[in-house]
Chains A and B, each alone.
Chain A
Amino acid sequence: MKRLVFAVLAVCLVAIPALAQEGHPLKGSWLGTWAGNKTLGNDVVVVMTWDGKSITGTINPGTDNIAIKSATLNPEGWLVHIEADAKDKAGSPISYTIDGKIENLPLANRVVTGTWKDNKGGTGAFKIGRQ
């Protein structure tokens, strides 16, 4: 069921052409993969916003609904750091840390590439593109 919801969400996001977003570079909906994530699956959707002081958002809205605990953007190198706490299938807490870098910054279809890891030894490549 979760995969179906994700697939529908992904189709909806892909069907919407990427709009130029000339404001804060992280704001918007992002779709991509965190490879090897056995708990939540390979596919990931991240929605982020910027209120002028902090970045907030949700990972996999509608399915996992993981609130972003903290997120930062270092303009020097456009480095992204995201932390979020979720629960695994058994209901145990699991913490995620994502470190990446914005590429193609001037373009509407910019991407964040990097790595994800959790506190249980899971890790892998992370890549999301702005929709």
Chain B
Amino acid sequence: MIMPSRAALLRVLRSVFVFFVAASVTLIAHHEPLAKFDDKKPVTLTGVVSLLDWRNPHVHVFMNVKSGTGELVNWAIELESPIELEESGWSHDTLHPGDKISVEGMAARNGSHQAWGKSVVLAATGRKILFASVSPPPMPLAPHPTPRWPDGQPRLGAGAQGRQGYWAFPSATALVENGVNAPMDAWGLLKNIADAPKVAPMQPWALKLYTERQQRFLQDDPMYLNCKPPGGPRQFQLQPGLQLVEDRTRQRIFVLIGSGNNNYRIIYTDGRSHQGQVGGDDENPLFYGRSVAKWEGETLVADTRGFNEDFWFTNGGLPHTDQLKLIEKISRPNYDTLKYDLTVDDPGAYTRPWSASWTLRWVADKEMPRHLCQENRS
């Protein structure tokens, strides 16, 4: 019988250890980093890569770091999703086991050996790697005219001649009442929790609930925890973007999202009322509500109601009730810009109707990236 060498045995044991550490890392769907990591706990780590786990919802780099007592400690470094990193030019070949790296980041709130990697530097070259750097396409010096159907109506989706594209890079990624200055991060987390009452005219219970969601760093967001659809205006504030597919024959517009559970919303333009389909959605409140729309000049005006209460209708966790009604005014002032004006009317959660507006950018000739949330992972 051939006995393995001590070194070979150690290699096997190390691989088994790394596998179990990797398997034990909490897999939360593509989430607000601050839900899991604490920006008040910065860490700087230098060590050797043991494994690069290149998969959704987040890429993980596992590295052995020598502790103060000389022991090797295995750290899990969490990074953006593979889609965002690949969009930024990185791949699973960017880093290999055995590479020496330095990481700056923030440590996990639960005290485990996990960190969010703000910066990963390859020691051999000093090159900064594995960072997401997706930016909106440059605006043309002179705006291109709004694309139109033969009857002159603006096209909200792909241009003529089969040119593809999608809408992304919303100018605001969370709902805030027009005119209010309440700085937030890209996930809708307030920079200053004292701004919470300014965000929207909430009833006391809604304000308290919103504040508590914020204080828990949005970790209870059902879109990430349970792959619940991003109903309402949230579709128009998702970082991966959306597509508007106009079916003029059947008089409806499909709103397709590049994230969440990839389901779709239908905006009917055939003149129907809000009446649901008998035996279908006539009695059931829905994640996307029932949307009917008509064109008023250059603007599509959608009236949506009949929402359920099983989801967050905005990044950042503003509450809503099943009394929510939305008026969305969607227009395309030029080829590259979608303008979205929203009025929220929900007497169950707010003290008065209120409005918010933002724009999205056209990403031409590209497929919409598809983050897929299923089985509570995205």
Contacts and interface: CB of A to CB of B under 8 A. Distances in A.
Nearest to B347: A52
B207 interface: yes
A22 B310 contact: yes
A24 B203 CA distance: 10
Contact of A27 (B216, B228, B309): B309
A50 B312 CA distance: 18
Contacts of B213: 106
B92 interface: no
Contact of B204 (A19, A51, A75): A75
Interface in B170-221: 203-205, 207-209, 212-213, 216, 220
Contacts of A78: 208
B258 interface: no
Given A20-B228, A105-B212, A50 B310 contact: no
A104 to B, nearest CB: 11
A78 B222 CA distance: 21
Given A52-B348, A75-B209, A106 B216 contact: yes
A50 to B, nearest CB: 6
A23 B349 contact: yes
Contacts of B321: 23-24, 27, 50, 52
A20 B319 contact: no
Interface string B298-334: 0000000000011110000001111100000000000
Nearest to A22: B309
Given A52-B321, A52-B347, A52-B348, A23 B309 contact: yes
Nearest to B309: A23
Given A52-B321, A106-B220, A24 B226 contact: no
Contact of B309 (A21, A76, A107): A21
A57 B348 CA distance: 16
Given A50-B348, A106-B213, A22 B208 contact: no
Q: Which 9 A-B pairs have the closest CB atoms?
A: A23-B309, A75-B208, A52-B347, A106-B220, A52-B348, A23-B321, A75-B205, A75-B204, A20-B222
22 contacts: A19-B310, A20-B226, A21-B309, A22-B310, A22-B311, A22-B319, A23-B309, A23-B319, A23-B320, A23-B321, A23-B348, A24-B319, A25-B209, A50-B348, A51-B348, A52-B203, A73-B205, A75-B207, A75-B209, A78-B208, A106-B220, A107-B220
Given A24-B309, A24-B321, A50-B321, 20 more contacts: A19-B310, A20-B228, A22-B222, A22-B309, A22-B312, A23-B319, A23-B348, A24-B205, A25-B209, A27-B321, A50-B348, A51-B323, A51-B348, A52-B348, A52-B349, A75-B204, A75-B208, A76-B208, A106-B220, A107-B220
